[in-house]
Structure 1
Amino acid sequence: MTSLRAPALRRRMACWLYEGVLMFGMVMLPGLLFAVVTQSRHGLDNRHGLQLFLFAVLAAYFVYFWSRSGQTLAMKTWHIRVVDRDGQPLKPLRALLRYLLAWLWFLPPLALMAPFTLSGGEVSVLMTGWVLVWALLSRFQREQQFWHDVLAGTRLIDVQPDPAKRR
């Protein structure tokens, strides 16, 4: 039986960072296809269309994996699975809700900086600061879950690999 205990914050953040690295590679092909189809010649051409398209591509990726196996590649690597409050696999609608609420990792600082012209360093400090605050806020949640998981009715759990499959 798998425990419903949350993985350590350090491990969840390592998984989060690895997921970001994988996402960079994952949006390259759809981004290229979008540029070819829309005949975009400059990085800012059709940028809102590209953002919306990549938002949908990422939604499809996360909803598919979270509702199928409960794990993305990064989550498999770090032995973390997402389940509902009762420990059951996610239904696609709940996985979509979790995806939308996971944007709380980025939307508050993006909204805060929108009216200002900030340097790259200032943006980095603001984004990094918010990510650290959002991650540390899980310490104030009774089960140590991220707040977007609490709001979505999901939870990250620690899953240890099956020793028989290692051989």
Structure 2
Amino acid sequence: MQNEQVTQTTAPSLFKLGACLIYEALVVIALSLAVTTIFVLSLGEATTGVKRYLLQLFLWLTVGVYFVWCWQKKGQTLAMQTWQLKLLNQEAQLLPLKAAILRYILASLSLMVFGIGFFWAIVDRDRLFLHDRLLKNKIIYAPRKTALPHPPSET
């Protein structure tokens, strides 16, 4: 599956990218609530001190595992599957582990700077996020292959 080739290279619309980001935020919120619950039940309140920073690091790493695993294994997160988007490298293949980790780190940094790397897609000719432009990745519109209905059987 790592060398899966995709010939479709149509860039998604800004609407699809934005809708996917909103859906992705909902998934991250749900995952974060579940992980925070586990953390607090295991280690107690985490509103101050070292526990607060440990919780933040634990959340960042957990969300990172979700994204990196999805990008590396399928090229799609849950939101990307819903909006029929796929992340590929410049050879039109799924991202290797190191590239997926680097993408997560750069995307995180982009969010810390008011999301500038995501807004970059508005002015980019290929509608790429800044971290994808730098890493030579692309998000493409990849519609699902629908199965043709079976003809009725004659008996």
Count of aligned pairs = 144
Tell me the CA shift for residue 160 of structure 1.
Answer: 0.8
| Structure 2 SS opposite 1:13 | helix
| Structure 2 SS opposite 1:106 | helix
- What residue identity is the alignment partner of 2:124? Q
Instruction: Please identify which structure carries the higher helix content.
Output: 1
Give the root-mean-square deviation of aligned CA atoms: 2.1
The residue number in structure 2 matching 1:156 is 139
| Structure 2 SS opposite 1:157 | strand
Q: Could you tell me whether the CA contact under 8 Å between 1:145 and 1:156 is conserved in 2?
A: yes
Q: Could you tell me whether the CA contact under 8 Å between 2:10 and 2:141 is conserved in 1?
A: yes
The residue number in structure 2 matching 1:10 is 15
Pairing partner for 2:102 from 86, 97, 120: 97
Determine whether 1:141 maps to 2:146.
no
The residue number in structure 2 matching 1:26 is 31
Identity %: 30
Gaps of 5+ in 2: 1-5, 151-155
TM-score normalized by the length of structure 1: 0.77
Gaps of 5+ in 1: 110-130
TM-score normalized by the length of structure 2: 0.83
- What residue identity is the alignment partner of 1:142? R
- Cα displacement string for residues 67-115 of structure 1 (whole angstroms, at most 9, x for unaligned residues): 0000111000000010101211111111111111112442113xxxxxx
| Structure 2 SS opposite 1:163 | coil
Q: Could you tell me whether the CA contact under 8 Å between 1:104 and 1:148 is conserved in 2?
A: no
- What residue identity is the alignment partner of 2:138? R
The residue number in structure 1 matching 2:71 is 66
